[in-house]
Amino acid sequence: MDHFLYRDGQLMAEDVNIAEIAAQVGTPFYVYSTATLLRHFKLFDDALSGMDHLVCFAVKSLSNVAVLKLLGDAGAGMDVVSGGEYLRAKAAGVSGDKIVFSGIGKTREEMRLALEGGIRQFNVESEPEMEVLSQVALSLNTVAPITVRVNPDVDAKTHAKISTGKKEDKFGIPISRAREVYAMAAKLRGLKVIGIDVHIGSQLTELEPFRLAYRKVAELTEQLRSDGHDITRLDLGGGLGIPYARDNNAPPLPREYGALIKEEVGHLGCEIEIEPGRLISGNAGLLVAKVIYVKSGEDREFLIVDAAMNDLIRPAMYDAWHDIVPVIEPVAGVDQTPYDVVGPICESGDTFAKGRMLPPLDPDALVAFRSAGAYSAVMSSEYNSRPLIPEVLVNGDQFAVIRRRPTFEDMINRDTIPEWM
């Protein structure tokens, strides 16, 4: 569910007319719904009621500081994968004891940053990382709390580029070697083992892969406890998918996911962490663009819009589907036209959709790309020297720009010409 609905023929973001935002901010832009973000966070929090737990928002899905503050104030922890994300979470007012540091390539500088600023735990992914983290912690006269990310070799049945739990994926330590790796961690004076971490992928649309992974984690928990490790926390990752197309089968609900967690690991008495991102932020955002031209090709019509692959790369990178809807509600029964919806970048890959059925649209018409809150603005770039586009947050009948559009001068002035030129 989201809060982007037509009212009196106009697409609204909660109680704000999308066209009014476009008139003030210009296109293209991202817009997020406060009500949707909070509702989706609460669904996960409620799903784990009765268990000691923390829902850590995956910052990599949507890292705007205003959004992080909104969720942090609602009680969310944060899952970060870089020093920059850590600093964003801190800037949003999230305390270090609610920030989990994941990722396979943490540097010494990032480790030091988190240890000095406060951290809930590091999810470590290799023996070399454990050794370096121990060294950094000892140099600061402290101890780093860790979980070890295990790779359970479970097929998440998702896109190959967002699968993280198969043996050929780069993430984690093979679960078959976990006991020896935990034995090594226990000998490192700068580390304190507190739990286990697992994450098998993103955009999962069924529960069975989670079940298979969590059963392996439950078995490993018992083994590690028998080896003398004090396993008190299980970080079960994220990955629950969202429906990108309206006619897709709906993925499992957070309450069903929560019930599975209770069933598979609830008997272990561990504190549970989960790291949802997409399901909290995905349907909470739109990308709004304006039609520049309607171009007739040899055998198709092209709808050329002012958004491009540098603004929303998911279709080019993953062949991802986003519903595209006009901001002015079409008249019931109007004939639909198949359009190739494309951007202005000099790449054939700058294509959002092919043969997409839409009502006839003229230049200057506004269109909205649905489910664009996750892995969208965060993956944008300035390719073709196109400025990053604004992000807007709506709350009821109010809206605010939470990331402004830089000027061309802003972009150019970041470059410097050497004196010898």
> Which residues are catalytic, by number?
346
- Residues across the chain: 421
Report residue 357 as tokens: 């059925």
Classify the phi-psi angles of 330: left when phi > 0, otherwise alpha if psi is within -120 to 50, otherwise beta: beta
CA 243 to mean position of chain CA atoms: 15
**Nearest partner of 268 among 227, 233, 235, judged by Cα:** 233
CA 348 to mean position of chain CA atoms: 26
Cβ–Cβ < 8 Å for 271, 53: yes
Q: Can you tell me the distance from the alpha carbon of 86 to that of 240, in angstroms, rounded to the nearest whole number?
A: 23
Bond from prior residue into 209 cis (ω within 30 degrees of 0):
no
